[in-house]
Amino acid sequence: MIDLHCHILPGIDDGPSNMESALSLAQLAVKNGINSAVLTPHIYPARWNNQKQQLLCDIEIFKLHLASQKIVLDVHLGGEVRIGDDILPLLEQDQIPFLGAVDGMKVMLLEFPDKLIPVGSENLIRHFLNLGIRPLIAHPERNTIVQNQPDKVQTFLNLGCWLQVTAGSILNQFGHTARKTAEYLIENNWVHIIASDCHNVQYRPPNLKQAYDVIAKEHGADYADMLMIENPQQIIAGR
């Protein structure tokens, strides 16, 4: 399987704080059936000032540690971009790492705040699309507004966005409401990717296999393959 949203790089956001923890998390991902991952540190200027140039160095160092520990995980650099006008300068400076590309459109993992959809989000997304960037909206099922009115995501789907649901939501790790919202989005065929959004071994582990089993049981293995193998592969193939 391919994990398109995970926080494994050490010491740069709210993922693992050190290399040892990061390697343990990577090893657990491999044991979970993940053979390829796009590492997506937070790109959030008000909180984590991560930029592509430095992150490219960080991931090369991480690859050396993976190899030294014989952890067979193919890793690529991406980013989880917090929506806001403050990321526009980073775009202009080519400091935003993308997940990949499909049909000539770069794919950006875009995060909304937990409790709201900021005013002006639609206009900002239109701007991204005009630049040839397709937003993949991270974990909409965990957003309070979407939980209260799941059909609100149709606005963003109609614009051309894709949706990424978190495996842990399907497994009830974020509460009943997040699980029911995730199920609703999946049943409506609005979800493009399921990813782990893992942060640590204890509480936010890589758990795609468990989510795969649930989706395969409820919707069939072909649908699970599409969400966790085929669609992610299409995105990273365009890197």
Tens digit of pLDDT for each residue in 63-90?
Answer: 999 999 999 999 999 999 999 999 999 9
What mean pLDDT is reported for the chain?
Answer: 97
Instruction: Give the pTM.
Output: 0.97
Q: Tokens for 121? A: 């989000």
With 90 as the cut, is the pLDDT of residue 56 above it? yes
Q: Tokens for 89? A: 């300068």
Average pLDDT for residues 222-232, to the nearest whole number? 98
The per-residue pLDDT for 167 is: 98
The per-residue pLDDT for 226 is: 98
CB-side neighbour CA atoms (13 Å) of 193 = 31
The per-residue pLDDT for 229 is: 98
Q: Where are the domains of the chain?
A: 2-237
The CATH superfamily label for domain 2-237 reads Metal-dependent hydrolases (3.20.20.140)
